[in-house]
Amino acid sequence: MSDDFNKKRRNFLKSTAALGVAGMAPTVFVRNAWAQDFVNNPGKAAAITLGFNVPQTGPYADEGADELRAFKLAVKHLNGEGDGGMLNTMKPMALQGNGILGKKVNYVTGDTQTKSDAARASAKRMIEKDGALMISGGSSSGVAVAVQSLCHEAGVMFMAGLTHSNDTTGKDKRKYGFRHFFNAYMSGQSLAPVLGERYGTDRKAYHLTADYTWGWTQEESIKNATEGLGWQTVETVRTPLGAGDFSQYITPVLDSGADVLILNHYGKDMVNSLTQAVQFGLRDKQVNGKDFQIVVPLFSRLMAQGAGENIKGILGSTNWNWALQDAASQAFVKSFGQEYGFPPSQAAHTCYVQTLLYANAVETAGTFYPCEVISALEDFQFDGLGNGPTLYRGADHQCFKPVLVVEGNDNPSNQFDLLKVVKQVPTEQVMYDPSIFGGELGSCK
């Protein structure tokens, strides 16, 4: 890694230690210093529109439904309704609970269908017909990359929801796109040391991988991290998104000599592949004199609910968990629980946070003009949104914060207590040089 990167990382870690309650101010801007017009400029309109583009159908529909709940709650809080949620904990924070720059926030929604073409068409409609100033959503990295590119071309802000591929803020990063969610590299760096402690350094791994950008980069990241421990990769097999029946892919695992199955699947795909792996008796086997293990690198409570008893004792990583005890996480859990009757997922959390971060950047910049909003977000350091002090790195628009390693709970205390936090991995362990994934942000129009 470059000296420049290491210097910036040391400076961030040093500053986050001192951030505390006071926080640090983002870049200082001179209000009304712009003269350029921009797409969907609201002018003197009393209200503005945001576009929430989520999978309401397809294999990631459960995550999409929770994302939409969170978006609606964020709009409610921005407009000064409800208990305010994390508007009460975010620092520094410019929002006043009267919309954004005094304008009421409205929203439109779309169904990505977990398909890139459908997602782009939906986002295009929101921009061209509904006048959306910002698009958010996701749940598939393929969708996020496609919509991010569209928004960049249109000159409209894209605040990514759930997207975990390295490519989103790597080779496919764009000036108008920002990601709060962690990525596959961070999963590998946080999870591998725990796998080594639990299962040893002499293991043989078999990967089943969703065949698109997210699966590819997660497989690469976990493979690199576990091989760094000393593990051998026996086989990597790609499976189609939404396959449903994974039995034809699991049968060969039994005769492969592998003693670990790594499922690079998400949503209903993970629920189905894990359930079928357990039905095939993999967790009851001994191979190479060791108990066979299954690993789910990207875990979520919604998937745990779907997989039921099968998730007990299985390790993975996650961006956020509703059981965190910091004041910000608990404020969000309380608001979401009062609204919907159950705790939020990590997908809901990241979408809620992204909406607040966009709104706060507009309020700070004093304009909806995207180039000024982008400047307000780049290298913004904040706290009070869960996970502790966080940096929105300007070089690639990727957030950096602690990552959680979790395990399927053997003895849940209630129907939502399905994942227990094994380790909160410090930011320093998951940071990296932005140049390792290539790509160019491009410029602001």
pLDDT of residue 189 exceeding 70, the answer is: yes
**pLDDT tens by residue, 322-374:** 999 999 999 999 999 999 999 999 999 999 999 999 999 999 999 999 999 99
Residues of the chain with pLDDT > 70, as a percent, come to 92
In the structure, what pLDDT confidence band is assigned to residue 379 with cuts at 50, 70 and 90? very high
Q: What is the pLDDT of residue 15?
A: 45
Mean pLDDT, residues 258-262: 98
In the structure, what pLDDT confidence band is assigned to residue 259 with cuts at 50, 70 and 90? very high
3-state secondary structure the chain: CCHHHHHHHHHHHHHHHHHCCCCCCCCCCCCCCCCCCCCCCCCCCCEEEEEEEECCCCCCHHHHHHHHHHHHHHHHHHCCCCCCHHHHCCECCCCCCCCECCEEEEEEEEECCCCHHHHHHHHHHHHHCCCCCEEEECCCHHHHHHHHHHHHHHCCEEEECCCCCHHHHCCCCCCCEEECCCCHHHHHHHHHHHHHHHHCCCCEEEEEEECCHHHHHHHHHHHHHHHHHCCEEEEEEEECCCCCCCHHHHHHHHHCCCCEEEEECCHHHHHHHHHHHHHCCHHHCEECCEECEEEEEECCHHHHHHHHHHHECCEEEECCCCCCCCHHHHHHHHHHHHHHCCCCCHHHHHHHHHHHHHHHHHHHHCCCCHHHHHHHHCCEEEECCCCCCEEECCCCCEEECCEEEEEECCCCCCCCCCEEEEEEECHHHHCCCHHHHCCCCCCCC
Q: What is the pLDDT of residue 293?
A: 97
Mean pLDDT, residues 27-40: 56
Whats the size of the chain, residue-wise?
445
Q: What is the pLDDT of residue 430?
A: 97
pTM for the structure as a whole: 0.90
Q: What is the pLDDT of residue 3?
A: 46
Q: What is the pLDDT of residue 59?
A: 79
Q: What is the pLDDT of residue 140?
A: 83
In the structure, what pLDDT confidence band is assigned to residue 36 with cuts at 50, 70 and 90? low
In the structure, what pLDDT confidence band is assigned to residue 305 with cuts at 50, 70 and 90? confident
Mean pLDDT, residues 168-172: 97
In the structure, what pLDDT confidence band is assigned to residue 135 with cuts at 50, 70 and 90? very high
For the chain, give the mean pLDDT.
91
In the structure, what pLDDT confidence band is assigned to residue 28 with cuts at 50, 70 and 90? very low
